[in-house]
Chains A and B, each alone.
Chain A
Amino acid sequence: DAGVIQSPRHEVTEMGQEVTLRCKPISGHDYLFWYRQTMMRGLELLIYFNNNVPIDDSGMPEDRFSAKMPNASFSTLKIQPSEPRDSAVYFCASSYLAENTDTQYFGPGTRLTVL
């Protein structure tokens, strides 16, 4: 398997623009997580899905952020409108719930810069 795939790897946009980040989890995994990493706050969980259903979105910072998982092989994180403080690295991770293991596999991340 190719692992968790994220696109784009880098995104530079101007304040006010819409940004869409994409994630393809590992085939067969039933959990998908979106994280944000900044120097100030470190890693933070934004939202996670189980079987395509959002379970906990309490980490989503504002209504400007939304996430969807239309099927088991694809998820998007959208920011509209984007602001400079949204600049961060956004990671997607997936996992498969099995007895005694809950390893999360991280994608390479998308580095977002909002000017």
Chain B
Amino acid sequence: GAVVSQHPSWVICKSGTSVKIECRSLDFQATTMFWYRQFPKQSLMLMATSNEGSKATYEQGVEKDKFLINHASLTLSTLTVTSAHPEDSSFYICSAGQGSKNIQYFGAGTRLSVL
């Protein structure tokens, strides 16, 4: 099956620092990767769509300068939360589109806690 690896699984950082989260498709190439945010007991909220070799497409209300996305290869996308603040604390999940049906397979998520 399609495997998506996300790292780190949990990060604690001080307010004002930046945090990078990696998303890798291990056994397939993904032209498109997606970044989501999930609050407790809520559904997934799409933040941005990342296309290999081009700029990410951000959803309305998501600050592109705050959440930097890089998709430099067909197997790796990164999300950097810049100058993180406590309100950025959340569960961040990536997914990668696989195959002709572009079915999304998800990483295990990253729990970010900003102190």
Specify whether A and B are partners: no
Residues on A lying within 8 angstroms of B by beta carbon are none
Residues on B lying within 8 angstroms of A by beta carbon are none
